[in-house]
């Protein structure tokens, strides 16, 4: 069964350092999402891509976060500089734009700890 791949699974970094996360969606899924899940809360959207274009980045802290999906396949989320409050699980999800398939499929996540 196809899965969303993410790496690394765990990342520990010091505040003010740069950190990057990678996501490879399910093959053929045109829509890709990055969510942030703070411990004890539900995931919240950071950015949504349709192919290589950003559809929604209204909740992305653009002063320190950036995301790209240059060829419309895999994606990278970057934080620079990292802050203590960025400690969270970063989840990537993908969905198909075709037919009646509305559910999103999630990767295993990257757990970020900022010290």
Buried b (16+ CB within 10 A) or exposed e, 21-51: bebbbbeebbbbbbbbbeeeeebebbbbbee
Backbone angles phi, psi at 86, to 5 degrees: -85, -5
Query: CB-wise, 14 or 44, nearer to another protein?
Result: 44
Contact status, residue 29 vs residue 104, Cβ threshold 8 Å: no
Tokens of 75: 């994606």
Q: How far is the CB of 103 from another protein (least distance, A)?
A: 5
Query: CB-wise, 50 or 66, nearer to another protein?
Result: 50
Query: CB-wise, 64 or 111, nearer to another protein?
Result: 111
Q: How far is the CB of 20 from another protein (least distance, A)?
A: 19
Q: How far is the CB of 49 from another protein (least distance, A)?
A: 11
Query: CB-wise, 33 or 65, nearer to another protein?
Result: 33
Contact residues toward another protein (CB under 8 A) are 4, 6, 31, 33, 40-45, 48, 50, 55-56, 91, 93, 95, 100, 102-109, 111
Report H helices in the chain. none
Q: How far is the CB of 16 from another protein (least distance, A)?
A: 26
Closest CA to 21 of 115, 114, 111, 104: 111
């Amino acid at each position: 069964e196809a899965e969303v791949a993410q790496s690394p699974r765990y990342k520990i970094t010091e505040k003010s350092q740069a950190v990057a996360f990678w996501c490879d969606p399910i093959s053929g899924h045109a829509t890709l999402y990055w969510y942030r899940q703070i411990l004890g809360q539900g995931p919240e959207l950071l950015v949504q891509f349709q192919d290589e274009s950003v559809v929604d980045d209204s909740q992305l802290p653009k002063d320190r976060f950036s995301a790209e999906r240059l060829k419309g396949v895999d994606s990278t989320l970057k934080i620079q500089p990292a802050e203590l409050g960025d400690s969270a699980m970063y989840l990537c999800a993908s969905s198909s734009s075709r037919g009646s398939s509305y559910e999103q499929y999630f990767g295993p996540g990257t757990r970020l700890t900022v010290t």
